[in-house]
Amino acid sequence: MARGDWLADPSQGGARAASRRAIPHRSRSVLPVLLVALGVSLSFITLQFTTGIDRDARQAAFENVAREIVEFVNQRVAGYTEVLHGFRGLFETGVAVQRREFHDYFESDGVATRLLGLEAIEFARLVPLAEKEAFEAEVRNDSSLVPGGYPDFSVWPEGEREEYFVVDYIEPFEGDERSFGFDLGSNESKLLAVEQSRDSGDPSATAPFTFVEETGGEAAILFLLAVYQKGLPTDTVSQRRAALQGLVTLVLSVKDMMEGVVAPVLEAVDLEIYDGGPSEDGVLPPTRAGLMFDGDGVVRGLDDHLRDGLHLDDYVAVGGRNWVLHFSSLQPSGSPASVFPFVIFAFGIGSSVLVGGILFVIWRSGDAAKTQARVTRAILHAIGEGVVVANREGRLTYFNPAAERLFGAGPKDVAASEWSETYGFYLPDGVTPCPSERLPLARALRGEEVDNTEEFVRRTDSPEGVVTSVTSRPVLDEDGAVIGAVSVSRDVTEQKRVEQALRRSEELLEKRSQISDVFLTYRDDKAYREALRVVLEAVGSRHGILGYINGDGALVSASMTKEVWSQCQMPDKNLVFPPEAWGGLWGLALKEKKTLVSNGGLHVPEGHIPVSNAIATPIMYQQDVIGILMVGNKRTEYGETDRETVETLANHMSSILYSRLQRDREERRRRLAEEALAQHSKELARSNADLEQFAYIASHDLQEPLRMVASYLQLLERRYDGKLDSDADEFIDYAVNGAKRMQDMINGLLAYSRVSTKGKEFEPVDCEKVFKEAVENLEIVIEDEGATITHGPLPVVLADRVQLLQLFQNLIGNGVKFRTKEPPHVHVSAEPDGGSWRFSFRDNGIGIEPEYTERVFEMFRRLHSRTEYPGTGIGLAVCRKIVERHGGRIWVESEPGKGTTFHFTLPADGGDES
Amino acid sequence: MSRSGGRPVEILLVEDNPGDVRLTVEAFKEGVVLNHMSVVNDGVEAMAFLRREGEYADAPCPDLVLLDLNLPRKDGREVLAEIKDDEDLRRIPVVVLTTSEAERDILEAYDRHANCYITKPVDLSQFLKVVQSIEDFWLVVVKLPPGDADG
């Protein structure tokens, strides 16, 4: 149903108006709760777990309250209807109801105070044109209430009409006297209602009007019911028209009618009631003129801007018209209170009005003996309660028509001990036959007075049965001896159903909120166990499963408790079931994606806890099965209600479980990644440590044999130089050289491995001093090569002083070593570079081909023959390692033939020592 | 030149590597001081020698001990500790002569009252120089406590 159409400006033309009329009529019984633009999509709920649950619960609570209020209005209208019928019964007893009786009864019974919203009760009498003057005269002279009568009385408004429907009796009169003499037929809307009730014999309601006297400007309606002449047939419309005596009319203030029910929830929910027009026209869109009730004075149903948040429209049929109930949630968070307790109050008023009225008439008639038989018959035929009479011997002697309907038969000649079996009486549980001696009528026969006992009546021809509320009394003779008994049974099935439905709705809401809480409270699998516990409580079951589908598509029975686990004796008991292992009721429910109920014949594997009955329902998120909810081992059979409960709770869990699984998956992914990373870096660290240990030990232990080789070769050279032939001298020379080179390399390797194993803690180091020291250490080479070493301002940095010296020495030494014919010049400088210092060692040497700029830092990498430039090829590898240990970076820029610049960075704050 | 009446200076070399033994012997041969070098190959033997136990009952009391650290059976550190704990032996100067450059070894040796610590140079000529300087210093320059050894 497009909300936009309701809100359309009627002046905007035909298309919209036409679409309004196309809105189909919805009778009360088939009216579903229409959700209008709730704007809460499932995906949105899952976006924010907490918010989602909150919203979900809010909406559920909101809908619940709306449902309760609708139910309340329905019941209240039913109450008014009963009152109308009661008054009709009063008129139809055949005893003339005079002004005096009408007044006294109204006064004595206090109907007005017992019916919320009732402003006045009137009787509008049908007066044909021909009898108008006589009628006016009669009223003017009627001094039964006021001495001197009503000399000014006349029917108004004036004018000749074929029939008048004149407001004759009014209670309370004061304050409403303006209506006195008013012809309902003079007003089109009221005439419509009059005719409707007259023709149908059912109550009808008028459109709302403002009736200043009664309501102080609030909207009122008339709720009326035709009263026919006693003894005339009323089977057809024309018969009813001919038999019409007048109309019993209730003047109702809609505001007062709603007072008391809406008050407790007004903070949270706004209710607006609009007249939706005659039912035969379908439901008309709300209009300002049709507004009968507004909870907070802000009209929301007509204004699109005020329609944000939660909304809901529902309809109630009132005397042939539709009322539109528009609900808006006013509360940004939290749940509105329940109106449940107020609803039950609405029951049972009309009937007491009726019986009270009849007894009143008997009492007033003054000649009880004469009219008693007639009146009694009238009573017994008019009332909806089933009246049964038993004689002293316990024989049933009388059933009124209502009792015959209720019990499916009239009096049967059975002993009191067989009543229960004969008429199908059961205890309120509906299954246990009620022992006949406990029936209220039987108890009354024993002299007891029994009030409002519940009893269940079920027969083969009405297998669903009805719940009755029974009151019974013994009938006593002058001496107080029991000579019989009477019972009055009232059908309260509908009342019970409503009560139960509302209670169940309350309970479900509570369970849902508990489940939400559980998932918010427990981040681990305890949430599943606790949520399952809530469900088991809700359906009175001993065992259950609440599981989810994991990333591999397997069912994880997350709710498993230690207790159940230990009871399970299956040899291959498991908590995770891949799809091929899905079995039993739950497996089938998962596969078929539907709820399955079994009340027996369940086969479980050997060792499994016995399952006598069960309900299994898949938890669906959109189209996917994301879990299972199963309950089992209820004492009694699972019924439709249990199935609904389980399904409702499973639905409720859908978005919660989905969010939970998403969260778990995210966490698991993150944890795995973190673990992998930690493992990786651990392995890396160990492998690095191993390598360094290896390098250190290898170089150390290699030293020993090498020293032998070198030493003895040198000893040979020393002792026998020139004593052997020249070949021998040359050979020894090569061997000695080789051994020395190997020693150099091993020393280099040792130095390399020592960068990390023998590193010192970082301390502030003045690079100017380091520079000076390096130059001093290289003094001989510098002098030999005729080199110039210069420097710009150098900072103080946090570093390992010894390593920094080695770094400077290696780089300066490099610059001097790889020289051209020009005298070598090395310039050292440093400048800030972000959070670091960038050092540059610029020389005017031979330079490096671009393809080698990376490889020069590799271990033992040499770009030149040893004869050109001697060296082990380890110096720059050590440099890189030192820089990296200091958290910096080293690279080289060069133009072959022109020179080379080595750059490295050192963090200004010292970096992380690794 | 003899410090004790023409008697050659007694040196005990504790060294398991025959190559090093020979090198050291060769180096002292080139020296100027008349010396007699005894050699043992592990710590246990070294202590037996110093305490004149078993086959070493007639061993001379050394004027100088050259001690390697990494030895089989009982290593040099223990030998050093035992010598310096022994009232009869503690005055004998002990020169730790080893390949280790480890700082820990050096500190440990001095903590146990080594008289000096020398790292064996890799280069032969350096090694010869070092042995020469040991001889110069300990056998020529230094005034040692009067030996109670009676030979």
Each residue of A375-428: pLDDT tens digit?
666 667 767 788 888 888 888 888 888 888 888 888 888 888 888 888 889 988
Q: Which chain A residues have a beta carbon less than 8 Å from that of B124?
A: 710-711, 714-715, 718
Contact B124 A718 (CB under 8 A): yes
CA distance A734 to chain B (A): 16
Q: Which of A340-349, A512-521, A571-580, B103-112 has the lowest mean pLDDT?
A: A340-349
Q: Which 3 state secondary structure label does DSSP give A792?
A: coil
Please identify which residue in the block is written with the tokens 């929301």.
A300
Greater confidence (A227 vs A562) lies with: A227
The alpha helices in A23-150, defined as continuous H runs, are 42-47, 49-92, 99-109, 111-114, 132-141
Residue among A703, A712, A715 whose CB faces B122 most closely = A703
One-letter identity of residue B143: K
Query: Is B19 an 8 Å CB contact of chain A?
Result: yes
Mean pLDDT for B51-57 is: 87
Mean pLDDT for A274-288 is: 83
Q: Indicate the pLDDT class of residue B146, thresholds 50, 70 and 90.
A: low
Contact B122 A710 (CB under 8 A): yes
**A257, pLDDT greater than 70:** yes
CA distance A750 to chain B (A): 12
Q: Indicate the pLDDT class of residue A370, thresholds 50, 70 and 90.
A: low
What tokens were used for A411?
A: 């009096």
Q: Which of A38-42, A371-375, B94-98 has the lowest mean pLDDT?
A: A38-42
CA distance B79 to chain A (A): 22
Q: Report yes or no: A655 and A45 within 8 Å, Cβ to Cβ.
A: yes
CA distance B5 to chain A (A): 33
The predicted pLDDT at position A307 comes to 54
Query: Using one digit for the tens of pLDDT, what is the confidence trace for A786-815?
Result: 999 999 999 999 888 888 999 999 999 988
Q: Which chain A residues have a beta carbon less than 8 Å from that of B127?
A: 711
Contact A707 B125 (CB under 8 A): no
Q: Which of B124, B125, B126, B130 would you mutate first to test chain A, the one with the most A CBs within 10 A?
A: B124
- Measured distance CA(A227)–CA(A230) in Å, rounded: 9
Residue among B17, B120, B125 whose CB faces A714 most closely = B125
**A334, pLDDT greater than 90:** no
> Which residue is closest to B124 within chain A, CA to CA?
A711
What tokens were used for A907?
A: 């963090």
User: Cα angle vertex A718, ends A712, A722, to 5°?
Assistant: 125
Q: Which chain A residues have a beta carbon less than 8 Å from that of B123?
A: 710-711, 714, 740
Residues 684-713 of A with CB under 8 A from B: 700, 703-704, 706-708, 710-712
Distant-in-sequence, close-in-space partners of A354: CB < 8 Å, separation ≥ 6: A82, A85, A86, A89, A90, A382, A383
- Measured distance CA(A816)–CA(A806) in Å, rounded: 15
Cis peptide before A157 (omega within 30 of 0): yes
Query: Is B17 an 8 Å CB contact of chain A?
Result: yes
Q: Report yes or no: B43 and B74 within 8 Å, Cβ to Cβ.
A: yes
What tokens were used for A500?
A: 């139960």
The average confidence (pLDDT) of chain A is 79
What is the dihedral sign for C-alpha A173, A175, A181, A185?
A: negative
Q: Which of A703, A704, A706, A707 would you mutate first to test chain B, the one with the most B CBs within 10 A?
A: A707
DSSP 8-state assignment for residue B141: I
Mean pLDDT for B68-83 is: 87
The alpha helices in A522-615, defined as continuous H runs, are 526-539, 562-567, 584-592
Q: What number of C-beta contacts closer than 8 Å exist between A and B? A: 33
> Which residue is closest to A743 within chain B, CA to CA?
B122
Q: Which chain B residues have a beta carbon less than 8 Å from that of A699?
A: none
Query: Which residues does residue A223 pair with via DSSP β-bridges, in sequence order?
Result: A205, A250
Query: Is B124 an 8 Å CB contact of chain A?
Result: yes
- Measured distance CA(A487)–CA(A491) in Å, rounded: 13
Please identify which residue in the block is written with the tokens 């199935």.
A643
Query: Is B101 an 8 Å CB contact of chain A?
Result: no
Q: Report yes or no: A73 and A315 within 8 Å, Cβ to Cβ.
A: no
**A137, pLDDT greater than 80:** yes
**A483, pLDDT greater than 80:** yes
Query: Is B26 an 8 Å CB contact of chain A?
Result: yes
Query: Using one digit for the tens of pLDDT, what is the confidence trace for A603-648?
Result: 777 778 888 899 999 999 988 899 999 999 898 889 888 998 999 8
Contact B99 A743 (CB under 8 A): no
The predicted pLDDT at position A628 comes to 92
Q: Report yes or no: A568 and A549 within 8 Å, Cβ to Cβ.
A: no
**A771, pLDDT greater than 90:** yes
**A834, pLDDT greater than 50:** yes
CA distance B134 to chain A (A): 19
The predicted pLDDT at position A299 comes to 78
Contact A708 B122 (CB under 8 A): no
The predicted pLDDT at position A344 comes to 36
Q: Report yes or no: A593 and A573 within 8 Å, Cβ to Cβ.
A: no
Mean pLDDT for A149-169 is: 91
- Measured distance CA(A538)–CA(A540) in Å, rounded: 6
The predicted pLDDT at position A805 comes to 92
Q: Indicate the pLDDT class of residue A93, thresholds 50, 70 and 90.
A: low
Q: Indicate the pLDDT class of residue A13, thresholds 50, 70 and 90.
A: very low
Q: Report yes or no: A645 and A658 within 8 Å, Cβ to Cβ.
A: no
Query: Is B105 an 8 Å CB contact of chain A?
Result: no
Q: Indicate the pLDDT class of residue A34, thresholds 50, 70 and 90.
A: very low
Give a three-class secondary structure readout of B49-108.
Answer: HHCCCHHHCCCCCCCEEEECCCCCCCCHHHHHHHHHHCCCCCCCCEEEEECCCCHHHHHH
CA distance A879 to chain B (A): 22
Q: Which of A402-406, A858-862, B118-122 has the lowest mean pLDDT?
A: A858-862
The average confidence (pLDDT) of chain B is 82
Contact A714 B124 (CB under 8 A): yes
Of the segments A27-36, A322-331, A624-633, A861-870, which one has the largest average pLDDT value?
A624-633
Q: Which of A231-235, A543-547, B62-66 has the lowest mean pLDDT?
A: A231-235
Residue among B19, B26, B123 whose CB faces A708 most closely = B19
Between strands B64-67 and B9-14, the pairing is parallel
> Which residue is closest to A696 within chain B, CA to CA?
B102
CA distance B26 to chain A (A): 9
ipTM greater than cut 0.85: no
CA distance B28 to chain A (A): 14
The predicted pLDDT at position A533 comes to 92
> Which residue is closest to A706 within chain B, CA to CA?
B122
pTM as predicted: 0.44
Query: Using one digit for the tens of pLDDT, what is the confidence trace for A193-224?
Result: 999 999 998 999 998 888 655 445 678 899 99
